[in-house]
Structures are given as structure tokens and as C-alpha cells.
Amino acid sequence: MRVRELAEWLSATFEGDGEKELTGVGAIESAGASELAFVGGRKAAAQADNSAAGCLLVSPDWPSPSYRTVIRVQEPRTAFARAMSRFYPTAQLKPGVHPTAVLGEGVELGALVSVGAHAVVGDGTRAGVAVGIGAGCVVGKRVVLGEGTVLHANVTIYDNVDIGRGVIIHSGAVIGADGFGYVRDHDRWHKFPQVGRVEIGDFVEIGANSCVDRAALGVTVIGEGTKLDNMVHVAHNCRIGRHVVVAAQTGFSGSVVVEDYAVIGGQVGIGDKARIESRAVLGSGCGVLTSKVVHSGETVWGTPARPLRQHLEQLANLARLPELRRQVAELKRRVAELTRQP
């Protein structure tokens, strides 16, 4: 693809050699003469002069040397992600049902649907146009898969789950398994029947080996555009809002509410009935206590989670403890000397 063509596709302007042919993308420190890179921060800007990249995606005000071929965009990182899809398009699914797949009664498949080897699709399930069901997937009864949704190999979808358009679910994920619900009678635990459902909005992505449990009663909801990393657990009756991002190994206890555009780091633990308000940020490894409210736009860290400034103050105080201990020991020594004097 020529620089001129890429700039036009990005609705951007270019400077330099518009006829230069680009064959791929690369990091700014390692990209070659036929590759595209981007300047997305101070570190990249410092490396730009020595970069061999054939073309750079830069911000409108970046001071480009005259010898550089650049494309000016508002958000270089976002434009780079878009450009990558042109150089490395998603593999096209081959429509059709593999001979080893098993389809239940009343299954409805839209045009261009692909069902892979040894997949199982339960009674009454409906798959929209261009849905992909990978090899070894098990899709339960009365499941709805929206247009363009892709289930990678070995995904399991339990009964009565609704999944929107353009959803991507990676291998090993389990959607709609029973929530962890039990009642105690004397000295024994008895299962509380989990008869609710799961609803997943449009353009959600769920990482490998993640689990979204069905509600005990009602619905577990994952909102439009939300992205879950690998090994994320969403428990029964959680309501995750729109465009939330959640990093790996995070766990949501039952009935947690996360509002729109929240950002949640890796290995975060959230107690039941907690509320994370819109655009809050939870730092990696923090712990949110049961019924805690993290307020809109607030950044919290640590366990128990507290505002970032408080967390940093606590870390600073902990760092001073060895010196404080030494000082106390010295004071004790001096007091002992004074008490020994006649």
C-alpha cells in the first residue's frame, strides 16, 4: 500500500514521498524502510530521528524533518491500530457447516455462517449473518448470536444466553455457567438454583479462559463495547457497563455494578455488591471491599482500595519505617544510659 493511499484511507494528510510502498508495520525502534510506525509519546519522539521506518504516523504539531515521510493524524496510536487492520486483515471464515458438527432441532443459521469441526449447537439457537462458531465449541439451547459474532475454538455457551453483534469470544471462555450460590441448612451447603440469564452487548470482546456466570435470578449483563482480558471472572448478577476495560485475572463477586468507561487493572478483586462508578480507575492488584463505592473519575490503588494519593502516602510512610525503627532504638539506648547515671 502506498503512503498516499493509506493517508486517504485514514482521512489524513501526508508529507514526503506519497508513492512510497509500505508492506507492513513495526515498532519505531525496529521498523524497516518499507514499514509504518507511529510516534505516540515522549520516548517514541526521542527515537524518531534514528528510526529507519519508511513512514511515521505523527500528531498535527509534531516537528517533522523535511526528509521524513509522515502522515499527520489526531491520535497516532489509534490510527496505527486502524492501519494494522489493512496490512493484517482478519482471516476470513469459510461459510458452511462441517460434517462432524451437530445441530439441534430448530437451529436457525443466517447467511455466511461457519460452524467448525465437532461443534455442537443446541435446540432453538439462532445465529445471525456471518457468525463464526469455531471447532469444538458447545453452544446450548435457545442461544442468540448476533451478526458477525465469532466464537473461537472450544468456547462453551450455556443455555439461554443472548450475545450481540460483532462480539469476539476467545478459546476456553465459558459463558452462562452457574453462579456460586449456596444456602446453608444446619451443617450442609445446598445449591441455590441459578435460573437467570446472561446478556452480552454489541462489540464486546472476552478473553481466553474467562467466565461470565448466569444470574441466580434476573440477568448478568456485559455492556456494549466492553473488553475483558484473559482469565477474568464475572460472577452472577453483575452489571458491567459500556466500554469498560478489564485486565487479566480480575474477579468480580456477585452483584457488582461497574458503570460506563471504568478502567480496571489486572489481578483486581472486587467484593460483592460493590459499585464502581463511571470513569473510575482501579490500579492493578487492588482490592475493593464488599459494598464499597468507588466514585466517578476516582483513581484507587492498594488493598483495601483507597484514593491514589492516600495509597502513595502510605507507601512513603512504610518506606520510612526502617529509619524510624533505628531512631527509636537509639532513643531507647540513650534513655537506658540516662537511667543508669547516679
Q: Which residues are catalytic?
A: 236
List strand residue ranges (DSSP E) for 59-193, in order: 70-72, 96-97, 102-103, 108-109, 114-115, 120-121, 126-127, 132-133, 138-139, 144-145, 150-151, 156-157, 161-163, 168-169, 174-177, 182-185, 188-191
List strand residue ranges (DSSP E) for 59-98, in order: 70-72, 96-97
For residues 178 and 213, the answer to whether their CB atoms sit within 8 Å is yes
Q: Coil, strand or helix: which one is 11?
A: coil
| Angle value at C-alpha 113, between 110 and 119, nearest 5 degrees | 120
Contacts of 200 by beta carbon, 8 Å cutoff, 6+ apart: 161, 162, 163, 164, 167, 175, 206, 212, 221, 222
For residues 214 and 158, the answer to whether their CB atoms sit within 8 Å is yes
Closest CA to 89 of 38, 25, 172, 10: 25
321 DSSP β-pair partners:
none
**Cα–Cα dist 204/301, whole Å:** 26
Report the amino acid identity of residue 173.
A
> How many residues can be counted in the chain?
342
Phi and psi angles of residue 281, each rounded to the nearest 5 degrees, phi first = -125, 125
For the beta sheet containing 275-276, the strands, ordered from the edge strand earlier in sequence to the opposite edge, are 108-109, 126-127, 144-145, 161-163, 197-200, 219-222, 239-240, 257-258, 275-276, 293-294
**Cα–Cα dist 339/342, whole Å:** 8
